């Protein structure tokens, strides 16, 4: 007994309350104050693994019922609360299963050749995305040294032999420009593309507060230059290197794509080619000037205090120069921008403004998809929603690669 209530009954009620609280947080996560750094991870995890959590809650509840939890009124209250919580948790999971990915404008073309489908077993067991056996890994490659610091990248290559040079894609990790690693993010996408003949690179870069802007983007550009200079070692076409990234990586990948060969951002290697063939940013930050106050107070604080180490109001020009929204030109490469509607760290309006500006100015196509129910960092977990997005990204890049090969009269596979 606990406070006069049978222990199984008390535990069942507690389980039900936890389920309801988690479900409510996943629908309406906090976006202000320190609590957001706890609220968002819980919302992200529960949203993308809704089916897994639902099964877990049901199994634990069944064990408690078997142990006699329904022997009291408290137990019955717990059962009703648990049922409500599981129903609320399941809703986004069902929505993810039934809602297609809509790309605007519609992606042209279709896959012509047989391709590797993303392993559906990864949906059941997401950690398998980190241990794919159908690709080759070359890890811990140093692409630049700064004193005693070694900046590294990991390469993921197809195991299946392909004729000719392969297309390449580079992933830039997120983490608010202060945390994160090449080992953590972009792996479902990079693995999927590598299994389909691409060569993928996950890169690290210097992080704040130790590093001050523009060190971050300079490192990303060094990585692009390194990959292009070592194209023969990786069997890639140096003329086709695409770039992607999420969150801070979405910002850095977009800025790199829009500032190819900008000497101000590549000191010491001004003459090296840092252009890219395409960019696929996920839930990125595109405007540090933020006149419309779209960014959350937490993001603004990190950018000013830890990344730039100066206030925007005192000198806005460096913030403008670091904003992809303000670096768009007619010569921008093709873009495919992706954002979740339910993103609680970087609102979807950030992406909408960026896409509108790209479509107004750029001569190249700009595609955009909003994911109903999608939370920040959704693509780190190979859920049903993620797999559909990866297929769309693959098609976008595949069309561009085929156009590149046709123009240069090269075989694709």
Which positions are catalytic? 247, 343, 376
- What lies within 8 Å, CB to CB, of 409 at 6+ separation is none
What tokens were used for 228? 């292009």
What tokens were used for 304? 């000013």
Task: Give me the phi and psi of 168, to 5 degrees please.
Answer: -125, 150
Give the whole-angstrom CA distance, residue 340 versus residue 348: 6
Q: HEC profile for the chain?
A: CECCECHHHHHHHHHHHHHHHHHHHHHCCCCCCCCHHHHHHHHHHHHHCHHHHHHHHHHHHHHHHHCCHHHCHHHHHHHHHHHHHHHHHHHHHHHHHHCCCCCECCCCCCCCCCCCCCCCHHHHCHHHHHCCCCEEEEEEEEEEEECCEEEEEEEEEECCCCCCCEEEEEEECCCCCCCCCCCCCCHHHHHHHHHCCCEEEEECCCCCCCCCCCHHHHHHHHHHHHHHHCHHHHCEEEEEEEEEEECHHHHHHHHHHHCCCCHHHCCCCCCCCCCCCEEEEECCCCCCCCCCCCCCHHHHHHHHHHHHCCCCCCCCHHHHHCCHHHCCCCCCCCEEEEEECCCCCCCHHHHHHHHHHHHHHCCCCEEEEEECCCCCCHHHCCCHHHHHHHHHHHHHHHHHHHHHHHHHCCCCC
Give, to the nearest 10 degrees, the angle between helix 384-408 and helix 73-98.
Answer: 10
Strand partners, 246: 282
**Among 28, 19, 97, which residue's Cα sits nearest to residue 56?**
19
Give the whole-angstrom CA distance, residue 50 versus residue 208: 33
Give the whole-angstrom CA distance, residue 237 versus residue 1: 70
């Amino acid at each position: 007994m606990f406070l006069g209530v049978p222990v199984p009954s008390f535990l069942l009620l507690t389980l039900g309350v936890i389920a309801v609280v988690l479900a409510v947080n996943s629908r309406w996560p906090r976006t202000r104050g320190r609590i957001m750094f706890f609220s968002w991870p819980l919302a992200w995890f529960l949203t993308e693994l809704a089916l897994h959590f639902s099964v877990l809650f049901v199994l634990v509840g069944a064990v408690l019922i078997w142990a006699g939890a329904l022997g009291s009124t408290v137990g019955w209250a717990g059962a009703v609360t648990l049922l409500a919580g599981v129903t609320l948790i399941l809703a986004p999971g069902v929505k993810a299963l039934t809602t297609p990915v809509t790309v605007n404008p519609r992606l042209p073309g279709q896959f012509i050749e047989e391709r590797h489908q993303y392993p559906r077993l990864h949906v059941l067991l997401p950690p398998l995305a980190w241990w794919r056996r159908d690709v080759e890994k070359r890890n811990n490659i140093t692409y630049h040294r700064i004193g005693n610091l070694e900046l590294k990248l990991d390469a993921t290559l197809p195991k299946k032999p392909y004729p000719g040079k392969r297309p390449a894609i580079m992933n830039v990790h997120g983490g608010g420009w202060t945390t994160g690693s090449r080992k953590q993010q972009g792996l479902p996408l990079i693995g999927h593309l590598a299994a389909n003949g691409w060569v993928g690179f996950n890169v690290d870069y210097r992080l704040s507060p130790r590093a001050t802007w523009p060190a971050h983007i300079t490192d990303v550009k060094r990585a692009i230059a390194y990959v292009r200079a070592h194209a023969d070692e990786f069997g890639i076409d140096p003329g086709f290197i695409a770039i992607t990234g999420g969150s801070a990586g979405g910002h850095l990948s977009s800025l790199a794509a829009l500032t190819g060969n900008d000497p101000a951002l590549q000191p010491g290697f001004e003459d090296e080619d840092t252009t890219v063939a395409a960019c696929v940013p996920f839930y990125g930050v595109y405007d540090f000037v933020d006149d419309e106050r779209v960014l959350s107070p937490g993001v603004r604080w990190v950018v000013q205090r830890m990344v730039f180490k100066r206030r925007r109001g005192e000198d806005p020009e460096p913030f403008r120069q670091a904003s992809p929204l303000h670096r768009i030109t007619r010569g921008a490469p093709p873009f495919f921008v992706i954002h979740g509607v339910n993103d609680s760290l970087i609102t979807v309006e950030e992406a909408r403004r960026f896409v509108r500006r790209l479509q107004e100015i750029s001569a190249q196509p700009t595609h955009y998809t909003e994911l109903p129910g999608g939370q920040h960092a959704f693509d780190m977990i190979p859920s049903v929603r993620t797999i559909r997005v990866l297929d769309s990204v693959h098609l976008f890049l595949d069309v561009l690669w085929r156009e590149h090969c046709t123009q240069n009269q090269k075989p694709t596979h």
